[in-house]
Structure 1
Amino acid sequence: MSKTRIYWTLQIAGWTALIMYENILYSLSYGFEEDTLYSGIANILLGITLTHSYRLVIRRWNWSALPMHKLVFRVGLSVLVLGLIMTAVNLPLDREILAENLVNQPFVFWGYFSTWCKNLLAWILSYTVYHYVEQNRLAELEKIMLKTSMREAEAKVLRSQLNPHFTFNALNSIRALVSENPAKAQHSITQLSNILRNSLLADRRKTVELREELKTVEDYLELEKVRYEERLQYSIQAEPQSVFWQVPPMMLQTLVENGIKHGVSKVMGGGFLEVVTTIENNTLVIKIRNTGTIGAIDPLGNTDSGGVGLQNTAERLSILYGKDARFRLVQEAENKVCAEVIIPMLSDGLQRYSDEKAVTPQEQ
């Protein structure tokens, strides 16, 4: 049932029940009179008209958005005005219909006025409180939607960036290979195109499977190895269950790039980089260890080109997972830095892994 239909149902049923209840009490005390029935019907229509007019006013002038003290003043004034109108209409009619019963009633006007104000106050408070709560709920919902849209826009910007210096260096390395090792140059171009494609697609996807990220990281490290040669040694160790876990796109590549730029490249004889992924307590743990020291890294983790840094990695995790995800950078040893990322489950990755393992070679 729509809100409008519910409103009119409650209006008609509420006023009818109130007026008929009072008429029944009067009839039990003084006997049934046909004129009181007509008067009751008139009061039902008048009550619906006045309270509906109040509804139009509160919606037209958006009273529910007013500060509480201003809203209370308007509600109180409305009760007095509507109560006065109901009294002004009913008292003359009742003097004709119920003349004998009103002759000896002291303070007739104030009795009528207080009774109608009490009835109208109950209706007006009920509707105003409902409308006030509904208005605030919608306002909070709009704030949440706006905040979500802003965070999503930020996430798209953060995950779609690729360090232009890497692209420039990779192209230079490939250019040197063209004459020395054409086959290797061709393979490197394929690897670079894979990285660029994933970077372009990153703003269209919130998460990707870890195995896709690891392939991008492997392509990236192979291109960097062309540049650093024996100065760069790397290894990638992924627990089979972890490869289907959903992770932010290009995040792992960003951390690996940071480890090489601020670690391996700073050491005269080169160094190592290690990527290890495991499942611990139903969460994905990614550890990227590399040669270097934390002191050599910009406090914000930004690259010289102003690309995505460690601070942006933490922000992306917060946007996607909230407090369930964590990121930290620690100095594990004198010349070993570890970037650790903890990501909660966001998909049915483990189930997919189990399903694939259950398929026999014949079925494949």
Structure 2
Amino acid sequence: MTKKRIYWICQVGGWTALILSELAIYTLEGEVTTGDFFFALANILVCVLLTHFYRLIVREQNWVSLPVYQIALRVIISGLSLGLLMTLMNYPIDLKVLKDTFKSQPYIFFADWLSWSKSMFMWVLSYTVYHYVEHKLDAEIERILLKTSIKESEAKVLRSQLNPHFVFNALNSIRALVSEDPSKAQQGVTQLSNILRNSLLADRRKTVELREELKTVEDYLSLEKVRYEERLKADFHIDPKTVYLQVPPMMLQTLVENAIKHGVQKAMSGGFVQVTTFLEGDYVHIHIRNTGILAKKDSIDKQKEASGFGLENTERRLHLLYGEDAKFRIFQESEEVVRAEIIVPTQTEGVFKSGSSLSFSKLTSQTS
């Protein structure tokens, strides 16, 4: 049943029940003529028309968006005004029927006005309160949807970020391999293509399986290995129970890229990157250790300034996706080792494949 139909049922049914009940009480006190019955029907019609006119004004002027005190003032004035109109309409009939009563009780007019105003006020108040609450709920829903839309848009932008300097360096490395090692150059093009594809797909998916993210890291490190050769070593300690769990796309690659750019690259003799994952309760832990020194010990804000977009990207994405359930920190583990830690709630898509594991021997051989 539509709102419009419910409204008219309540309008006609409510006023009919009220006025006919008063007519029934009047019948018990004296004789009721056919004229009284038709006059009661006329009252019903006028009440419906007046209150419907009030409804049109409320909707046209959008009263429900006003402050509460302004709405309250309008409700009181409307109730008194509508009650006065009904009293004035009934006054000629009442004066004719109750002529002697009006002479002995001159204030009966105000009693009738108060009676009609009470009925009108109850209708006006009920209608206004209902639509005021409905308006507030709709506004809150719109606010939440808008906030969610903004967060989703921001998250898509963050997920699709890829450092253009990496692409530039990777293309230069592949160009150098074209004449030296064509097969390796071909492999490099495939790896770069995989990374770019995952970057483009990242804005369509909130999370991916950890194994997909590790494959992106594998391709990334393989391309970086062309530049750094023996100066770059990689080590992986992956818990097989974590490989099918969901993590934000391109996040791990961003942190590994940050580890190389601000750690291994600055070390005179090169360095290492170590990725470790394990389960602890209902959370998956991801640790990235690398050669490096923070701009200032125990200062993540300083590291953000030194690292550029990578760490800020990670922290904002985790907050948008998991809220307070996710944790991220980066700190100086030892004199020449930096560690970044990510803790996110465990999520899976489909049935967890127990006992399954990935082989990282190929990755280790390519990057160590």
Per the normalisation by structure 1, the TM-score is 0.90
Q: Distance in 1 between matches of 2:169 and 2:218?
A: 17
CA contact (8 A) 2:173 2:226 kept: yes
Q: Distance in 1 between matches of 2:340 and 2:37?
A: 82
Q: Partner of 1:316 in structure 2?
A: 317
Q: Partner of 1:145 in structure 2?
A: 145
For the residue of structure 2 that corresponds to 1:170, the secondary structure is: helix
Query: How far does residue 98 in structure 1 lie from its aligned partner after superposition?
Result: 4.7
Query: How far does residue 311 in structure 1 lie from its aligned partner after superposition?
Result: 1.0
For the residue of structure 2 that corresponds to 1:288, the secondary structure is: strand
Q: Partner of 2:93 in structure 1?
A: 93
One-letter identity of the residue aligned with 1:339:
A
Q: Distance in 1 between matches of 2:235 and 2:355?
A: 28
Query: How far does residue 106 in structure 1 lie from its aligned partner after superposition?
Result: 4.3
**1:345/1:53 Cα in 2 relative to 1: closer, same or farther (>3 Å)?**
farther
Q: Distance in 1 between matches of 2:193 and 2:288?
A: 24
Q: Partner of 1:340 in structure 2?
A: 341
Q: Partner of 2:290 in structure 1?
A: 290
Q: Distance in 2 between matches of 1:160 and 1:336?
A: 29
**229-238 or 258-267, which moves further after superposition?**
229-238
CA contact (8 A) 2:295 2:303 kept: no
Residues 90-143 of structure 1 deviation map (CA, whole Å, 9 limit, x = unaligned): 121223345566554441110011011111111111111111111121122222
**1:14/1:347 Cα in 2 relative to 1: closer, same or farther (>3 Å)?**
farther
For the residue of structure 2 that corresponds to 1:339, the secondary structure is: strand
**130-139 or 175-184, which moves further after superposition?**
175-184
Residues 41-68 of structure 1 deviation map (CA, whole Å, 9 limit, x = unaligned): 1111111111110000000010111122
Q: Distance in 2 between matches of 1:356 and 1:257?
A: 28
Residues 185-219 of structure 1 deviation map (CA, whole Å, 9 limit, x = unaligned): 22122111111111122222222221111100111
One-letter identity of the residue aligned with 2:277:
T
After superposition, the CA RMSD in angstroms is 2.2
For the residue of structure 2 that corresponds to 1:266, the secondary structure is: coil
For the residue of structure 1 that corresponds to 2:277, the secondary structure is: strand
Q: Distance in 1 between matches of 2:120 and 2:133?
A: 20
For the residue of structure 2 that corresponds to 1:249, the secondary structure is: coil
One-letter identity of the residue aligned with 1:48:
V
Query: How far does residue 237 in structure 1 lie from its aligned partner after superposition?
Result: 2.6
Q: Distance in 2 between matches of 1:302 and 1:158?
A: 17
Q: Does 1:124 align with 2:124?
A: yes
For the residue of structure 1 that corresponds to 2:273, the secondary structure is: strand
**23-32 or 92-101, which moves further after superposition?**
92-101
CA contact (8 A) 2:293 2:338 kept: yes
**1:194/1:115 Cα in 2 relative to 1: closer, same or farther (>3 Å)?**
same
Q: Distance in 2 between matches of 1:293 and 1:334?
A: 7
**40-49 or 24-33, which moves further after superposition?**
24-33
Q: Partner of 1:12 in structure 2?
A: 12
Query: How far does residue 236 in structure 1 lie from its aligned partner after superposition?
Result: 2.3
Q: Partner of 2:172 in structure 1?
A: 172
**1:236/1:98 Cα in 2 relative to 1: closer, same or farther (>3 Å)?**
farther
One-letter identity of the residue aligned with 1:166:
F
Gaps of 5+ in 1: 358-364
Query: How far does residue 74 in structure 1 lie from its aligned partner after superposition?
Result: 1.6
Q: How does 1:256-267 map to 2 (within 5 A)?
A: 256-267=256-267
For the residue of structure 2 that corresponds to 1:179, the secondary structure is: helix
For the residue of structure 2 that corresponds to 1:141, the secondary structure is: helix
Q: How does 1:1-364 map to 2 (within 5 A)?
A: 1-99=1-99, 104-295=104-295, 299=302, 301=304, 308-349=309-350, 351-354=351-354
Q: Percent identity?
A: 57
One-letter identity of the residue aligned with 1:321:
Y
CA contact (8 A) 1:27 1:33 kept: no
Q: Distance in 2 between matches of 1:302 and 1:157?
A: 20
Query: How far does residue 250 in structure 1 lie from its aligned partner after superposition?
Result: 0.9
**91-100 or 59-68, which moves further after superposition?**
91-100
**265-274 or 90-99, which moves further after superposition?**
90-99
Residues 132-167 of structure 1 deviation map (CA, whole Å, 9 limit, x = unaligned): 111121122222222222222211221112111111
**1:302/1:250 Cα in 2 relative to 1: closer, same or farther (>3 Å)?**
farther
For the residue of structure 1 that corresponds to 2:114, the secondary structure is: helix
Per the normalisation by structure 2, the TM-score is 0.89
One-letter identity of the residue aligned with 1:179:
S
CA contact (8 A) 1:211 1:243 kept: yes
**1:31/1:276 Cα in 2 relative to 1: closer, same or farther (>3 Å)?**
farther
**1:133/1:211 Cα in 2 relative to 1: closer, same or farther (>3 Å)?**
same
